[in-house]
Structure 1
């Protein structure tokens, strides 16, 4: 359908808990098409519906050329002790910070036919699953930073040309 514009830090939709999808209709099908189109651009690992201004529980992913989506995702398992990994976000462009993430994640949700989808992995996939589920809960990765890093992130945001 369309590559949608990414909402930036400060947009209230990014801090809003997303509503569950209760019915698969044309609006949800168009949303999934837009999420997939939007995540296919280079350098994108995931896009949550809230990042394109839609307050519904869905995200798309693009990990090593594996592109897909999931509706109503829930983290069902996290493995290993959180590790600091470099992380950025399309909604906070140009910033990268060491963010605590579990090295393994499993997410369960549904597809457009109501079938169960289970995504699991390590590395970038585990990080992306946690990052995108956070978006749907109204959290940005900077919310997970320690206080000194968060202060630095907020300073960089205020000084950015996009804020």
Structure 2
């Protein structure tokens, strides 16, 4: 496995719309493995492929309940309330801010076997999915955040 350098704000790839994965190949498996290793090494809870310089619609998330790998993820349903909470981002070191997001949603995508999977997410997992899927659209949390501030 490999630990990648995380791309930081200012790099153009973070502003691009990531390309859909046409086929789940061994290279995609390797990408998923390396993304997970990179996320864990950086003590993150999520990582999108553009954050390691790869313009593909792939995310990994682990909020402490086990690794979720999603290829071509999309939000198919949003419900519940909008909740504002503090977020940070591995691509925006030492900054946090308040971001409003839906507290319940349904996300679909492909797993590493190429099978369609569905996640009904709420609270922190819903927030993590929205944050990572935003990256696939070229959106960084600072675009939505208020009360941005430095942390050391």
Q: TM-score, structure 2 length as denominator?
A: 0.91
Q: Secondary structure at the match of 1:55?
A: coil
* Greater helix share, structure number: 1
Give runs of aligned pairs for residues 67-106 of structure 1, distance below 5 A: 67-106=67-106
Q: What is the CA-CA distance between 1:114 and the residue it aligns to?
A: 1.5
Going from structure 1 to structure 2, the CA distance change for 1:62 and 1:41 (only over 3 Å counts) comes to farther
Q: Deviations over 1:55-96 (max 9, x none)?
A: 000000111141121000000111223221101100001111
* Greater strand share, structure number: 2
Which has the higher Rg, Structure 1 or Structure 2? Answer: 1
CA distance in 2, matches of 1:67, 1:140: 22
Q: Secondary structure at the match of 1:7?
A: coil
Tell me which stretches of 4 or more aligned residues in structure 1 moved more than 3 Å: none
Q: Secondary structure at the match of 1:81?
A: strand
Alignment match, 1:113: 113
Q: Secondary structure at the match of 2:121?
A: strand
Q: What is the CA-CA distance between 1:26 and the residue it aligns to?
A: 2.7
Q: What is the CA-CA distance between 1:22 and the residue it aligns to?
A: 0.2
Give runs of aligned pairs for residues 26-105 of structure 1, distance below 5 A: 26-41=26-41, 43-105=43-105
Q: Secondary structure at the match of 2:81?
A: coil
Alignment match, 1:136: 136
- The CA RMSD over aligned residues, in Å, is 1.9
Alignment match, 1:10: 10
Contiguous gaps of at least 5 residues in structure 2: none
Contiguous gaps of at least 5 residues in structure 1: none
Going from structure 1 to structure 2, the CA distance change for 1:33 and 1:40 (only over 3 Å counts) comes to same
CA distance in 1, matches of 2:88, 2:119: 21
CA distance in 1, matches of 2:43, 2:70: 20
Give runs of aligned pairs for residues 142-161 of structure 1, distance below 5 A: 142-146=142-146, 149=147
CA distance in 2, matches of 1:42, 1:23: 28
